Amino acid sequence: MDTATATATVTTGALQPAPASGVCWAEMVAQRSYLVRFAQRKLRDPLLAEDAVHDVFEAVLSGRAVFAGRSALRSWLTAVLKHKIVDSIRRSAGTDSLDDHDDDGDEHVALAIECPRPRPDQIAEQHQLLALVLQRIEALPAGLRDAMRLRVLEEQSTDAVCRTLGISEDNLFVRIHRARKQLLS
């Protein structure tokens, strides 16, 4: 029986090759413990690791992943597993588990999950702080102000700022240091 066209069925306890994958079921199962350990190292959760390995076997058996024989079976299964791990991480990204929190038996405690974006009041504070810093930069002496504006605010290269101001690289660093020192005082 050709392994590429055989079906993966269990008949009277005998395992037959997987469909269209070119892989014998027994060969895949022999790699299972390695795959589970690999997945546990990446996911740090034994249940998720088992699920990922199960997904690999399911993909092979359903024909969604086909072994072409261009690499070792373990390498190929590991590559398929890596994709399943990434899929698992993407599915769980942005969700927090509520199981980790203690509610001390009170079922009516509302758990607040903080949004990663800043609140409107935080944005307003940032705008006020930025305006203050820009005012203080404008109040610096001309040489320090120009160095800060070109190098820090406009993010021009050191060489370009030195050419524009007609100063050496060392002098530019001294000016920026002095400007920062004055801004922090």
Number of folded domains in the chain?
2
Paired with 14 in beta bridges are: 11
58/127 same-domain check: no
Quote the pLDDT of residue 96: 58
Percent pLDDT > 90 in the chain is 38
Region 66-92: what's the mean pLDDT?
85
- Radius of gyration (C-alpha) of the chain in whole angstroms: 30
Position 111 in a domain: no
pTM: 0.42
Quote the pLDDT of residue 27: 84
d(C-alpha 57, C-alpha 40), whole Å:
16
Q: To the nearest whole number, what is the mean pLDDT of the chain?
A: 79
Quote the pLDDT of residue 19: 47
Each residue's pLDDT tens digit, 96-133: 555 555 555 544 444 556 677 888 888 999 999 999 98
Position 102 in a domain: no
pLDDT at 176 over 70: yes
CB-based contacts of 129, cutoff 8 Å, min separation 6: none
130/172 same-domain check: yes
Position 100 in a domain: no
Each residue's pLDDT tens digit, 23-76: 777 888 899 999 999 999 988 888 889 999 999 888 888 877 787 778 888 888
Domain boundaries, position 55:
10-92
88/149 same-domain check: no
Provide the residue type at 70 as one letter.
R
- What CATH number has the domain bearing residue 132? 1.10.10.10
